[in-house]
């Protein structure tokens, strides 16, 4: 989807009991929060991007009524964010979407994927950038995201396992910013260009540009910069 010429405003629909939780999640986007469907939608709301935040999956017609109202009001685009959804609930939502013939509704339970979808719709977050080494605050979480153990990530960063263990524990981080710069850039490119639900698949897919090496293998080999540059070449349309 092409981004609009100007940034779009966001409206988040949720139940009253989930309002505070929704405020925490969506605060960077400065949205308007709504807990009740109006009897009549204003024309300006039809052009805004809407997110239906489902904090607690449940059966019943309430969610379907909300989606039908959004559809009938000709809201241009809306997303369903259900971070705690199960496979059965995803199927339930899919059934509703199919039954009511929603064309522009998309369901995700992954926060990074939600952010990608909002960027596609030109809904911009207002998050201050940071060059603080601690901006990569949870290396253990990063390892989990990449599917690496401590030894593999330490090898990729060209540090000792003990150093990585110290960093994960918040100790001796004076060189952490410098040593993880390429890793931070790679994660940023992945956030921008790799669809979050397919990230694990991408990490284990052989890349023709690197003679069949997978991204995960390249990370362990310490070739993070090569991956960053490859993303940049693809973005600029250069041959690889």
Q: Report whether pLDDT(135) > 60.
A: no
- For a pLDDT cut of 70, what percent of the chain falls above it? 78
Q: Report whether pLDDT(128) > 70.
A: no
Rounded to whole angstroms, the Cα distance separating 151 from 133 reads 21
The candidate with the shortest Cα–Cα distance to 58, out of 98, 90, 24, 89, is 89
Rounded to whole angstroms, the Cα distance separating 167 from 153 reads 12
Q: Report whether pLDDT(60) > 90.
A: no
Residue 137's pLDDT band, with cuts at 50, 70 and 90, is low
**With a threshold of 0.85, does the pTM exceed it?**
no
Residues sharing a CB contact under 8 Å with residue 142, sequence separation 6 or more, in sequence order: 136, 153, 183, 187
Q: Report whether pLDDT(7) > 70.
A: yes
At 141 the pLDDT is 92
DSSP string computed for 174-228? TTHHHHTHHHHHHHHHHHHHS-GGGHHHHHTS--GGGTT--HHHHHHTT-HHHHH
The candidate with the shortest Cα–Cα distance to 29, out of 60, 51, 14, is 51
At 182 the pLDDT is 96
137 or 162, greater pLDDT: 162
At 94 the pLDDT is 73
Residue 40's pLDDT band, with cuts at 50, 70 and 90, is low
Q: Report whether pLDDT(159) > 90.
A: yes
- Mean pLDDT over residues 129-144, rounded? 70
Q: Which residues belong to CATH 3.40.50.2020 in the chain?
A: 10-120
What are the pLDDT digits (tens) for 186-197?
999 998 889 998
Q: Report whether pLDDT(1) > 50.
A: no
- Mean pLDDT over residues 26-54, rounded? 78
Neighbours of 149 (CB within 10 A): 11
Residue 15 token pair: 């139940």
- Computed on alpha carbons and rounded to an integer, the radius of gyration of the chain in Å comes to 21
How close are the terminal C-alpha atoms of the chain, in Å?
A: 25
- Mean pLDDT over residues 18-24, rounded? 91
22 or 42, greater pLDDT: 22
At 73 the pLDDT is 72
Cβ-count burial 166-187 (b if 16+ within 10 Å, e if not)? ebbeeeebeebeebbbbbbbbb
89 or 125, greater pLDDT: 125
Rounded to whole angstroms, the Cα distance separating 105 from 79 reads 5
The third-level CATH classification (topology) of the domain covering 10-120 is Rossmann fold (3.40.50)
Q: Which helix (H) or strand (E) holds 12?
A: strand 10-13
At 57 the pLDDT is 59
Rounded to whole angstroms, the Cα distance separating 97 from 116 reads 21
Query: C-alpha dihedral over 215, 185, 124, 78, to 10 degrees?
Result: 10
């Amino acid at each position: 989807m092409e981004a609009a010429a100007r940034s779009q405003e966001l409206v988040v629909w949720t139940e009253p009991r989930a309002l505070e939780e929704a405020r925490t999640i969506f605060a960077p986007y400065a949205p308007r929060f709504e807990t009740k469907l109006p009897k009549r939608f204003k024309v300006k709301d039809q052009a805004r991007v809407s997110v239906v935040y489902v904090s607690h999956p449940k059966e019943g017609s309430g969610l379907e009524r909300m989606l039908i109202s959004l559809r009938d009001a000709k809201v241009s685009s809306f997303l369903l964010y259900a971070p705690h959804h199960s496979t059965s609930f995803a199927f339930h939502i899919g059934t509703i979407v199919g039954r009511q013939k929603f064309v522009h509704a998309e369901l995700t339970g992954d926060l990074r994927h939600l952010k990608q979808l909002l960027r596609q719709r030109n809904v911009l977050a207002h998050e201050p950038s940071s060059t603080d080494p601690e901006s990569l605050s949870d290396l253990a979480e990063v390892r989990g995201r990449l599917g690496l153990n401590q030894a593999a990530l330490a090898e990729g960063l060209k540090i000792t396992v003990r150093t990585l263990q110290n960093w994960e524990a918040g100790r001796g981080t004076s060189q952490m910013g410098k040593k993880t710069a390429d890793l931070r850039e790679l994660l940023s490119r992945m956030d921008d260009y790799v669809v979050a639900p397919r990230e694990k698949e991408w990490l284990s897919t052989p890349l023709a540009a690197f003679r069949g090496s997978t991204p995960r293998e390249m990370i362990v080999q310490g070739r993070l910069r090569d991956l960053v540059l490859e993303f940049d070449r693809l973005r600029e349309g250069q041959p690889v």
